[in-house]
Amino acid sequence: ASNGSDQQPELRRWTPAEFQKLEFDAAGNLPWIFDEEAKEQLRGPFRLRGIAQKDISGLSANELRSEVSIRQKSQMRKGKQIEIYVMHQNIIRYFFLRLMQFDTSRWLDLGGSNCTMTQLRVRNDGVVVCDFFGAHESRMPVSHYTFNKHSDV
């Protein structure tokens, strides 16, 4: 929130409950906001803006058109993107736990054999999906191994 002075604006996340209690006027201004601990009201006027959001109030018509174009391009959805990583099973175990938001200190409790595949998808909304972990049906034949040329199963 910014109160229009030259001071550094207050930057913090608002909880949904705090945000619902705010009283916006027709122009999007606030007569008050909560203090840092959300206990008392601070008198304004204030105007909310996102972190790293550009203030466009003083831009010329050309600058405004340029800013709109930049924002539209940055919001365009990218096509399907696939990244393939080949790494040691210990690293796969760790990243699996990290992406699934589990305790990463338990990485040794997971299985997984040489040359098996793990597929994790990170969706556009940030949700992580594990399609398979250390899948044996995806095993490469031992003859194709480039190291450790023995089956461990």
Using the predicted structure, report yes or no on whether residue 76 has a pLDDT greater than 70.
no
Do 94 and 139 share a domain, yes or no? yes
**How many whole angstroms separate alpha carbon 55 and alpha carbon 63?**
12
Q: Which domain holds residue 9?
A: 1-54
User: Three-class SS of residue 29?
Assistant: strand
Using the predicted structure, report yes or no on whether residue 49 has a pLDDT greater than 70.
no
Using the predicted structure, report yes or no on whether residue 2 has a pLDDT greater than 60.
no
Average pLDDT, rounded, for the chain:
72
The string of pLDDT tens digits covering residues 25-43 is 766 677 887 777 777 888 8
Quote the tokens at residue 35. 């203090």
**How many whole angstroms separate alpha carbon 33 and alpha carbon 41?**
6
Task: Check: CB of residue 133 under 8 Å from CB of residue 112.
Answer: yes
Using the predicted structure, report yes or no on whether residue 7 has a pLDDT greater than 60.
no
* Number of domains comprising the chain: 2
Using the predicted structure, report yes or no on whether residue 70 has a pLDDT greater than 70.
no
Residue 109 lies in a domain: yes
**How many whole angstroms separate alpha carbon 140 and alpha carbon 147?**
12
**How many whole angstroms separate alpha carbon 14 and alpha carbon 33?**
11
Quote the tokens at residue 52. 């790293």
**How many whole angstroms separate alpha carbon 135 and alpha carbon 16?**
41
Residue 2 lies in a domain: yes
4-20 mean pLDDT: 61
Do 1 and 50 share a domain, yes or no? yes
Q: Which tops the pLDDT comparison, 14 or 98?
A: 98
User: Three-class SS of residue 150?
Assistant: coil
Q: Which tops the pLDDT comparison, 93 or 73?
A: 93
pTM for this model (two decimals): 0.39
Which stretches within 15-115 are classed as H helix? 16-21, 61-75, 89-99
